[in-house]
Structure 1
């Protein structure tokens, strides 16, 4: 297979991935367009490149994974709520940088934090060719967020917490939305909306994420 043939094959695989997302219930065309625009195969190990557009999580090393495409699309769709602008966005768990790249197409600014330094460096390398001016990567503890840049209109967490970290709630702007997997053995997505006098939490889909851990390494 020539390089041109390989590139065409990956482009077709990406289009099939987006169509599967649509069939699976993702209705937000902005999210689908963002997923279509980002080459997921550039964010996984070369040996896994042919599997990049399958609807499955793939290993990144460091006991971390790149989330399956449906989960990425579902979480972002929940945050957009029918086209709501994501605005200033905090991503907890940058991993390989893929989700930050997708978010960059829908948010004004993306602050993506990662606690594992070598993984953060990999994310930087992966993102560099895409030249996304509104993405900033930080080495930081996701449990405590990024207070220096708060408040955030949107917060998305790519690891499961036993309970929603108070620091993240505090950093959510009024009217903002946070989506996070919560639980240990049994996990579910939670959508949290900050209203003037309270937080409203909605329990949603069952999911399976790596745990949200404190500290940096």
Structure 2
């Protein structure tokens, strides 16, 4: 079993046995490989299943669409990323660290990065479910980093993150530029006392 499966990460459609978790791990790893070769438009569940050494029908028992599979890859990377601990740092520094970590999760893999943006915008119910889980995880990490009950600033930080990542996914900015722009924006937002609740 992979490190991800052993930490309790499950596919979104069902609870998994050890063997099933291994199959899902193989499918998510194969998805990254296929995306790097074929790009988003050329990636199919059939190609990913073949690369993972499983049947197409088996792959569809875990993932309803390629968008679901790609969203699952991002979800697994996000949930596996360690929570940043910096209790002595100021809130702006903690928030910037969280935003950088999340925005750079797929920065070194351009095909995956653009595929994640496209996949997360899909209307597949399984993607919608993952989108909610991803949003909650990012919300919780930003709230912990902010360290205060400041819903207005927290909402603004979430909007900054979503907009910046969309720009990265569309290829308008590199993911390093996204991280840098998020840092500048977050520091300005958190330094401005007029934006508090």
Identify whether the pair has TM-score above 0.5, normalized to the shorter chain. Answer: no
Larger radius of gyration: 2
TM-score w.r.t. the length of structure 2 is: 0.30
Bigger RCO (CA 8 Å, 6+ sep): 2
Structure having the higher strand fraction is: 1
Structure having the higher helix fraction is: 2
TM-score w.r.t. the length of structure 1 is: 0.28
